[in-house]
Amino acid sequence: MKSLKPTFDKVLFTAFLVLVIWVIYGSVADNDLISKSVYPLFIPVFLIFFFLNNKNLNIGFVIFLIFCFLSDISSIFFQDDWYVKISSSLTVLGFTCLFLMMLPKLQFGKLGRLIRGYLVMVFCISLYFLYTVGYELNLIISDTNEMVLFSLKNLTLIVFAFVAFANYLSKENTISVLVLIGAILINLSSILGYVNLYYVYHWSFEMIDKLLYVTCLYFLFRSFAFEKRYQNLEKDSFSVDKRFTSKEKMLA
């Protein structure tokens, strides 16, 4: 008989879905209080459910979450230009920490020359796209610091997406797929956020921007949950092998 106890994935998804509904309701109802209060709850709620299922968490991922949480709550304390600057700075720090944590696990050397060349070409195209957008925004943004932060933030997200894509091509497992989806979502969120901020503002763009960001967090949490699961399975397998080896030696 199957256990009726809900799995971690189902509980996490349910919590994610409930918070998403509140974000959508706050945006549609034009209730700024609900939007600003629910939006920063994603990381604490995800962490609570994660720690109920896992005893520890990678320190690099914890630092990333701290920076993201500070970026989320900055909308409560700061407005307009100050919010954009502080939020962008914290995002840069958070995702820099995340892709630096991923670099040692990257098996770039296992990729073929053709795939490595393809990755470099995609990275160069992304940089050219960033340069083109930055040139256009430079005509709109008068604040030099804001322009520098725009470049740093989007360069960081491009590098993160590049590392995630290279990691996926070298491993092609569930964890790498989840991280790659998260990387795509956060880049789409950043693009939509700047379109909404500097070109065409609409409440639906702002809502989709937030939903893309929190969905990115959801997939990243799922990826680290899978990683912990695989580590536990490897430990259990190692313990079983060790016990069998010990018994074989005793019988011998």
pLDDT tens for the chain, residues 1 to 252:
344 445 777 888 888 999 899 989 988 888 888 877 888 888 998 888 877 777 677 788 888 999 999 998 887 788 778 888 899 999 999 999 988 888 877 777 777 788 888 888 988 998 898 888 888 888 888 788 888 888 899 999 999 998 898 888 888 788 889 999 999 999 999 989 888 888 888 888 889 999 999 999 999 988 887 776 655 544 544 444 445 455 555 555
Angle at 91 between CA 86 and CA 94, to 5 degrees: 125
Q: At 1, is the secondary structure helix, strand, or coil?
A: coil
What is the end-to-end Cα distance of the chain in Å, rounded?
Answer: 40
Burial (0-12, 13-18, 19+ Cβ within 10 Å), 202 = exposed
Q: Which residue has the tokens 């795939």?
A: 115
Alpha helices in 139-202 (DSSP H): 144-171, 174-198
- Distance CA(117)–CA(18), nearest Å, equals 43
pLDDT recorded at residue 241: 47
Residue 249's pLDDT is 52
Q: Are 23 and 207 in contact (CB under 8 A)?
A: yes
The rounded distance, in Å, linking the Cα atoms of 109 and 249 is: 39
